[in-house]
Amino acid sequence: MKKTAYIGDGVIIIVVLLVGLSPIVSIRGNDRATSFEITINGRVYSTVSATIDTTIIIPGEMGKMVLVIKDGVAWVSESSCPRKICIKTGKINQPGQVIACVPNKVLIKALGPQKRREIDAILK
């Protein structure tokens, strides 16, 4: 017996994929950071508006870090730490996202309005 794929099969596959991926898209949200808080060794060093395109040199425990803020997105472009995990973290732009550099004791957190998540279960 010959098996043939029909146009309807493709439509069903696309619909199933869209329905399956829709929770991932809704979890992510559309909120954008309004500012970025820079903390060094547990103390707030600076809070910078996300609307201002700027480059900031942050003095860390092991040396300097360079934070770039452009178009409401922040990322670390240079760091003196050995493994460069803060650079590999990439860009942040949504409230609650964080870039951490443990050797430099620097934390960069995106601030802004966060969607309130409803509780789906309570464990005792």
* Residues of the domain holding 79: 35-111
The pLDDT tens digits of the residues spanning 42-81 come to: 999 999 999 999 999 999 999 999 999 999 999 999 999 9
pLDDT, residue 106, reads: 96
Confidence of residue 31 (pLDDT cuts 50, 70, 90): confident
Would the pLDDT of 30 be above 70? no
Give a yes or no: residue 28 inside a domain. no
pLDDT, residue 28, reads: 52
The whole-number average pLDDT for the span 3-32 is 68
Q: What angle do CA 102, 42, 91 make, to 5 degrees?
A: 50
Place of tokens 């951490």: 100
CB count in 10 Å sphere of residue 60: 19
| CATH number where 55 lies | 2.60.320.10
Q: How far apart are CA 87 and CA 113, in angstroms?
A: 25
State how many domains the chain has.
1
Nearest to 36 by CA among 108, 102, 87, 89: 108
Give a yes or no: residue 27 inside a domain. no
Contact present, 53 and 71 (Cβ < 8 Å): yes
Q: How far apart are CA 119 and CA 75, in angstroms?
A: 32
Would the pLDDT of 115 be above 90? no
Q: What is the pTM of this model?
A: 0.70
What SS3 class is residue 106? strand
